Amino acid sequence: MNLSPRSATALTTYSLSSPVGQSWESALSDVIGVLRIQYRSDDDVRTFLDSTEKVRQLQISTAARMEWNRRVIKEEMDSGIHSPPRARRIAKEVAIDYIRRYLDGEEEKITMYRRLQDIQREKDETLATMLEYEREKTRLGDESARMAVSNQKLRDENEVLREDKEELKLENAKYKTENDHGKDENDRLRLENGKLREENKKVRQENQDLRNENGALRSENQKVRSENQILREESASVRKENAKVRGESQSLRDENNEVRCEIIKLRDNNTSLRDDNERLRNANGSLLTDNRKLIQDNLELNAREDEMRMLVNIQQSLLSGKPGATKEALRLQQSALDTAEDSS
């Protein structure tokens, strides 16, 4: 890649740690006070700037330092001028971008933490329900054991009190019914316990899905941040082009107004020319009528002139007295007279 002499000279004076003889930390220290005044109405930014630990993290941020170096080197290569004020201005822009990204990340962390808290709370409620069912199951087991002991006592009493056999049978049947009811209740609790285990599996699967979704959201967030940076740069170029187009549009409006004024003048002139043309057409019609009359009169005069010439020629022939010309002259004179009569 070929470089201009000025760019080559500028590259020899730059260093990645201090493009303009000023470090990122010093430039940031110069603009921290200005940022606090400028963003005093923004609570989130003001809280960040008031925190000494967060400002220190911004100062030691490698990403912020590299972004500041890149922008400063680019602008100074384009202009060829060392400008500490420009470096401080870029430090302000980089710091605000870093703070905005930090605040966006914190907000996303808070939202995700709240979602995890909700999931944990639902999990704790499920576990508490499961423990309650376990305690109920233990109680039913104890009752079943006590019932077994009672049955044993009844058997002993049955051996001792054979004469109360019928009564003991009735009581035994009663206890058997209660025991069957306890077994049915135990089966029901086992079924509910199985359902709770299935629900626990579903909750675990949903937790895993949320973790996967969190990773996808982080990747998408990084992509959106990159696209946002590209859009900001494109927006700056579009603003410049928009300003240029506005200037051209204003000049075109001025030219359009001038052309409109000329068109109005031409329309007025065209209207007067149309009136003159109409007047000339009317005059030309009357002249054509007069010209037709003059042509007709001219034709009649030409015919009469021919007749007169013929008569003069006949008279000259008669006066000259040529032999054999008298009859011819009289014939021609008679013919001329006939022609004159016909024309009249």
**CA nearest to 33, candidates 57, 45, 49:** 49
Domain extents in the chain: 1-123, 303-343
**CA distance linking residue 90 with residue 67, whole number of Å:** 9
> What is the per-residue pLDDT across 304-317, written as a single tens digit (0 to 9) for each?
888 888 888 877 77
**CA nearest to 98, candidates 140, 152, 132, 60:** 60
Handedness of CA 144, 146, 151, 152 (dihedral sign): positive
What pLDDT score was predicted for residue 68? 93
Q: Please compute the mean of the pLDDT values over residues 158-167 and round it to a whole number.
A: 71
Which pLDDT band holds residue 180 (cuts at 50, 70, 90)? confident
**CA distance linking residue 342 with residue 335, whole number of Å:** 11
Which pLDDT band holds residue 97 (cuts at 50, 70, 90)? very high
How do the residues of the chain divide into helix, strand and coil, expressed in percent and rounded to 5? 90, 0, 10
pLDDT at 204 over 50: yes
What pLDDT score was predicted for residue 247? 87
Report the mean per-residue pLDDT for the chain.
78
Where b means 16+ CB within 10 Å and e means fewer, 108-134 reads eeeebeeeeeeeeeeeeeeeeebeeee
Q: Most confidently modeled of 206-215, 281-290, 331-340? A: 281-290
What pLDDT score was predicted for residue 16? 41
- Residue at 147: amino acid letter: M
Residue predicted with more confidence, 64 or 132: 64
Q: Are 102 and 48 in contact (CB under 8 A)?
A: yes
Which pLDDT band holds residue 11 (cuts at 50, 70, 90)? very low
Instruction: Quickly tell me which residue has 């104890």 as its tokens.
Output: 142
Which pLDDT band holds residue 246 (cuts at 50, 70, 90)? confident
Q: Are 330 and 341 in contact (CB under 8 A)?
A: no
Which phi-psi region, left, alpha or beta, contains residue 59 (left: φ > 0; alpha: ψ -120 to 50)?
Answer: alpha
What pTM was estimated for this model as a whole?
0.29
> What is the per-residue pLDDT across 16-38, written as a single tens digit (0 to 9) for each?
444 445 789 888 888 888 888 88
What pLDDT score was predicted for residue 9? 34
Q: Are 98 and 64 in contact (CB under 8 A)?
A: yes
**CA distance linking residue 343 with residue 113, whole number of Å:** 127
3-state secondary structure of 205: helix
**CA nearest to 112, candidates 204, 227, 215:** 215
pLDDT at 215 over 80: yes
